[in-house]
Amino acid sequence: MSKKPFQNPSGPVKSKSKFRFFLLVTFLFALSNYPKSMFASEPFHNLHGFYGERAAGLAGAFTAIADDPSGAYYNPAGLGFTHNDGISISASNFKDVKRSYINIDTPGQRYNQTHQGFDPNFIGLLKNFDRWKFAFSIVNTYNYSYNRVDQVNYPLVSPSINSTRNYTKERYNQLLVGPSLAYLVNDKLSLGATLYYMNDTKEASRTQFQQFSDLSYVMRSYVDNRKTTGLMPVFGIQYQPNPKLSLGMSYRRIFVTGGDRLYNEVYADSTRRPGTSAIDFIEGTGESASSIEQGVLTQKPKLITSIPQTSEMRFGVAFFPTARFLASFDMIHTSGYKIRRNQDEISTLGRRVTYTINDTEVRELTRISTTNFAAGMEYYLADTFAVLGGIYTNEPNTKPISWTESAVDLYLQNTFGNQVSQSSGETSVVYKVARSGTNPRNEYSRNRGLSLGFSWVTSKSSVSVTYIRELGYGTSRIDPNSLAQSFEYSAHSIYIMVSSRN
């Protein structure tokens, strides 16, 4: 029996401020009734969360403000306009995420991936030296842990399968640590820079057991661990032409400096005879990779230890009509990324040698450029109590996935095997066309979100609580041997932030 492919289905307000208060109430009411079709981040998106006290409540529209330690991340130039001698801030985030894959294997069958976690996501310190400002921050940009256990019995689209069981654990984390420096050129202009050290990790393990109608079975399990280090500089400028208007811009870029990776896979098929070809092994690192599959020894391309080295540009505008009210708007553009390298393979079985030519695009690193928008408002109902709200977009950094494309892909695979070969004696050359179904960037979801926050502020400290709601809809293809399916993303987040000032 041929090797079965791995399936992954699986004080009261003053009268002159009443009009602006009415605007804020109307804005928050609109948020609560925002259409669900406009709402819904992960490696499939470029925005992973919010960091800092006010930024979360403003839905990330903070580039033209950035006047607390979280400005080190959004726009370090904003630190130049801070007035406190020292400030510290700590933020924690509870996040509940659900990713649903709909109509896989059987109509109505839904596979869910879930994540729940409470993590510190920002800690920052800021010191004021007249026109010079120094800051140090730790940013946990994302920390996702997914666990999934699925079982499907007698799927309609695969009548030869009795049952499929999947056990999946995945964890993704990125940590940024580094100093910031800002200089207030004059009362209207500030320049700033941050240099982050980056540590990005991925840990994934999966096991699948599949039994067929003839009672034969296959089992596959693998572990994939990666660690990547690098630097992320952030440069910013902020200009305030008058006390009621602020303009901000920042630029960041990822530079990978090192990394390592270990991949190990074991595959067993009950129909095979006992012996050296009964079990397949695949193992690889960032230096080399090889496999033994049905007795064939293959030298594979070394594993990818990097992450996409994308850049991001933020443009922000903030308007301060009164001391109690502000409105802000951000545009965030993240570049795409694509690299190519030789990924050919050489296989040997006895005296027979096969050279396989693969597509040179490293698809797990491919990113599509995105442009996102965020808008937020803040209003002080009293001298010490503020309400914040915002909306934002989070576009996918993956290519669109269509049902038609998946149908064509399956037809070509079943008809032509997706490859062309030529043999001469004991030597063969095989050219493989990259399948859309095997692309690891297999989710496409247009996400939208809203934020609602409350902040209690005194001259020495502040406490704020912010709720974030994200929803997204799109398509995915987690099984290369099935058609594309609908995809839904849903997340609730609560940010708790405490800060103190000297």
* Residue found under tokens 């990330």: 60
pLDDT at res. 106: 63
Nearest of 483, 497, 491, 496 to residue 105 by alpha carbon: 483
C-alpha dihedral, 285 to 287 to 292 to 298, nearest 10°: 140
Q: Which of 47-61, 127-141, 396-410, 413-427 has the lowest mean pLDDT?
A: 413-427
pLDDT at res. 2: 38
CB atoms within 10 A of CB 357: 16
CB-CB contact of 87 with 480 (8 Å): no
Report, as an integer, the average pLDDT of 107-116.
74
* Residue 6 domain-assigned (yes or no): no
Q: How many residues does the chain have?
A: 502
Alpha helices, H only, 298-440: 403-416
pLDDT at 1 exceeding the cut of 70 = no
* Residue found under tokens 């609730």: 492
CB atoms within 10 A of CB 347: 18
Helix (H/G/I), strand (E/B), else coil: 452: strand
Q: Which residues of 43-65 are buried (b: 16+ CB within 10 A; e: fewer)?
A: bbbbbbbbbbbbbbbbbbbbbbb
CB-CB contact of 388 with 452 (8 Å): yes
Handedness of CA 51, 53, 57, 58 (dihedral sign): negative
pLDDT at res. 144: 83
pLDDT at res. 32: 38
pLDDT at res. 108: 67
pLDDT at res. 458: 87
Report, as an integer, the average pLDDT of 435-447.
92
* Comparison of pLDDT for 306 and 13, the residue scoring more: 306
* Residue 4 domain-assigned (yes or no): no
* Residue 305 domain-assigned (yes or no): yes
* Comparison of pLDDT for 83 and 158, the residue scoring more: 83
* Residue 365 domain-assigned (yes or no): yes
pLDDT digits (tens, 9 = 90+) for 183-226: 999 999 999 999 999 999 999 999 999 899 888 999 999 999 99
* Residue 1 domain-assigned (yes or no): no
Mean pLDDT over each residue of the chain, to the nearest integer: 87
CA distance 162 to 151: 11
* Residue 100 domain-assigned (yes or no): yes
* Residue found under tokens 């819904």: 40
The structural domain count of the chain equals: 1
Owning domain of residue 50? 15-501
- 37: domain CATH number? 2.40.160.60
pLDDT at 495 exceeding the cut of 90 = yes
pLDDT digits (tens, 9 = 90+) for 163-188: 888 888 889 999 999 999 999 999 99
Q: 157 falls in which pLDDT band (50, 70, 90)?
A: low
pLDDT at res. 40: 35
CA distance 250 to 212: 56
* Comparison of pLDDT for 29 and 324, the residue scoring more: 324
* Comparison of pLDDT for 270 and 66, the residue scoring more: 66
pLDDT at res. 3: 43
pLDDT at res. 466: 96
Report, as an integer, the average pLDDT of 10-24.
44
* Residue 10 domain-assigned (yes or no): no
Model pTM score: 0.86
pLDDT digits (tens, 9 = 90+) for 272-300: 877 767 789 999 999 999 999 988 999 99
* Residue 5 domain-assigned (yes or no): no
Q: Which two tokens stand for residue 314?
A: 């933020």
